[in-house]
Amino acid sequence: MANGRFGDICLEAVLANGTVLDMLGTLRKDNTGYDLKHLFIGSEGSLGVVTKVSILTPPKLSSVNVAFLACKDYLSCQKLLLEAKRKLGEILSAFEFIDNQSFNVVLNHLEGARNPLPPSMHNFYVLIETTGSDESYDKEKLEAFLLHSMEGGLVSDGVLAQDINQASSFWHIREGIPESIMKAGAVYKYDLSIPVEKMYDLVEEMRVRLGHSAKVMGYGHLGDSNLHLNISTPQYDDAILAQIEPFVYEWTSKHRGSISAEHGVGLMKANKIHYSKSAETASLVQLMASIKKLLDPNGILNPYKVLPGSLASSS
């Protein structure tokens, strides 16, 4: 077993009663009792105020390669991910997918964005990044993977960045999607975790549901099963929202996903947590409420966040 992991976190937190919890120990291994720091990570300040953090960081690796690829359909993206895991292994550091609608909005609204694969437009795009310590070996490995994928029909077209500027231009497209969509009009955003094989089904079903009244876009971290579902309309419309919600949450729950993959629950989703914590796991939410009551009996730390209002007030 490896001795610890990059990204391990230690922290200090202050409870509602002023008690300072020092969990900044530098030991790489300590299995004496409960690992309490995980109560505070992701609790959005509802259990305590985090005042200090220490993070184990890796040395900066010298070899970074980025490829921008086109795929004919979502199934090809899925198969490409499996091949990337097999062929690239430990050097695979990013696998991002972008659908045609997301790509188009970037080209139309993001300053400096250019199509890396002109003049054609494709149904899906994938950005792959590898990170390692042996530049020649890593590049050779990535090139072999790309050749294999093209010969196997998984990739329709692609380009490997030749320098840091070209690599940055590829990432500019992926990272510029949220900004571009905001410029295109009103946007309804959902950060979901869904099994990879089902992720894009939601995008397609939402398009059928909304018809021509909205543009439905899907992109995200395919390797983490994280879908960013963005729906754009010329202006905000309550009727559109009523078609989106609660359908999007019900669909995600039905497919055993999470309604918040990265961005937390906060105020807006507190009363929707049951979509991710189903009736079978309702005891988990009740346990969360009990922990909240124990650490913050007066409910003064970020009230109404994370837990449903009914539980937060009665806990």
- Residue-wise pLDDT for 25-35, tens only, equals 877 788 888 98
Q: What is d(CA 174, CA 184) in angstroms, rounded to the nearest whole number? A: 16
Contacts of 92 (CB under 8 A, 6+ apart): 84, 85, 128, 129, 130, 223
What pLDDT is attached to residue 272? 75
Residue 193 belongs to a domain with what CATH number?
3.30.70.2740
Write down which residue in 136, 151, 177 finishes a domain: 177
Write down which residue in 125, 160, 177 finishes a domain: 177
Q: What percent of the chain has pLDDT over 90?
A: 75
Whether residues 150 and 71 share a domain: the answer is yes
Average pLDDT (152-175) is 97
Whether residues 41 and 72 share a domain: the answer is no
- 217 occurs within a structural domain: yes
Residue 51 belongs to a domain with what CATH number?
3.30.465.10
| pLDDT, tens only, 104-121 | 999 999 999 999 999 999
3-state secondary structure of 313: helix
- 272 occurs within a structural domain: no
Could you give the strand order of the β-sheet that contains 92-99, starting from the edge strand earlier in sequence? 157-160, 63-71, 124-132, 92-99, 215-221, 226-233, 186-193
Whether residues 162 and 74 share a domain: the answer is yes
What pLDDT is attached to residue 3? 36
Write down which residue in 177, 210, 245 finishes a domain: 177
What pLDDT is attached to residue 2? 34
CA distances from 216 to 85, 174, 227 (A): 29, 17, 12
- 271 occurs within a structural domain: no
Contacts of 263 (CB under 8 A, 6+ apart): 191
Whether residues 101 and 34 share a domain: the answer is no
Asked which of 19-33, 135-149, 159-173, 180-194 is least confident by mean pLDDT, the reply is: 19-33
What is the reported pTM? 0.89
Q: Which stretches within 22-131 are classed as H helix?
A: 37-40, 74-88, 100-109
Task: Output 259 or 200, whichever has higher pLDDT.
Answer: 200
CA distances from 24 to 41, 262, 303, 307 (A): 14, 24, 27, 27
Whether residues 172 and 228 share a domain: the answer is no
Residue 72 belongs to a domain with what CATH number?
3.30.70.2190
Q: Structural domain of residue 77, as residue ranges?
A: 63-177
Task: Specify the number of domains making up the chain.
Answer: 4
